Each structure stands twice: as C-alpha cells, then as structure tokens.
C-alpha cells in the first residue's frame, strides 16, 4: 500500500476543514436612518420659496434613489398648531432637497425660512 507524505495529508486535512467550516463573514450592516426631530421644514429645487413640513421624517431607499419620507403637516395662518395629514405619506427625492431644518414643536417653525415664526411664545 502506497504511503502518503505527511505534508500532503496535512494539506488535505486543512482543505477539508476549510470547506466544511461555517462562514464567519458578517452580513453587510444596513445604515441606520438618521434620527430627526419630530418635524422637518424642507425646501426643494422645484419650489425654493415654499416650505414643506414633514412629521416623523425618515430617509428611505427605493431602488437606487434615496427619499425623505414623512407625513405632511399643515401650518394654518395665524395659528399655533401643526395639523398632520395622517392619511398621506409624502416621498421627496433627496436629490431635490436644497435645505431642511429640524424642530420639535411649533415654536421652531420658520414662517419665512429665516426666523422662527413664533419667537415670542
């Protein structure tokens, strides 16, 4: 019976272990969506003077495009209330966003995009 050289037996054993061992490679981690404050005031390329207010905004991926997704909020004139349209979810392409700011309550809302609307309250 022919005898195998010890190094060949060792190489075979290592190859067998490598093939049968479970993979320790980690799955790629999904990037966590940034945590925004309760509201976002958003300006877009299409309407740079008009602000869109989103509640509970998140960043979501759809195919190869990234969107800012949230519930639109109406800010009534001469009111201190923000009213969310619960039946609507708005997707704004992130490539169309020129600027946005975050705020927690109506006092942080910028009426003209520069100054908080309700500074004295």
- Coil vs helix vs strand at 41: strand
pLDDT in tens, 14-30: 776 666 665 555 555 56
- pLDDT per residue, tens digit, the chain (121 aa), is 566 576 666 667 677 666 666 555 555 556 666 688 888 989 999 988 888 889 899 999 999 999 999 998 887 666 667 777 888 899 999 999 999 988 887 767 765 545 444 444 3
Residue 115: what pLDDT? 47
| Residue boundaries of the structural domains of the chain | 39-108
Q: Are 34 and 42 in contact (CB under 8 A)?
A: no
Beta bridge partners of 95: none
Residue 118: what pLDDT? 40
Residue 79: what pLDDT? 64
Residue 66: what pLDDT? 95
Q: Are 60 and 69 in contact (CB under 8 A)?
A: yes
End-to-end Cα separation, the chain, in angstroms: 96
- What's the token pair of residue 19? 């093939």
């Amino acid at each position: 019976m022919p005898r195998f050289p010890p190094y060949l037996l060792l190489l075979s054993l290592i190859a067998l272990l490598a093939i049968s061992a479970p993979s320790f490679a980690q799955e790629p981690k999904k990037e966590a969506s940034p945590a925004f404050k309760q509201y976002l005031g958003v300006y877009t390329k299409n309407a740079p003077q008009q602000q869109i207010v989103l509640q509970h905004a998140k960043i979501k991926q759809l195919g190869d495009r990234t969107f800012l997704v949230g519930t639109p909020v109406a800010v009534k004139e001469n009111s201190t209330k923000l009213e969310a349209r619960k039946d609507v979810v708005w997707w704004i392409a992130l490539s169309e966003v020129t600027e946005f700011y975050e705020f927690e309550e109506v006092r942080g809302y910028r009426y003209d995009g520069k100054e908080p609307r309700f500074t004295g309250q």
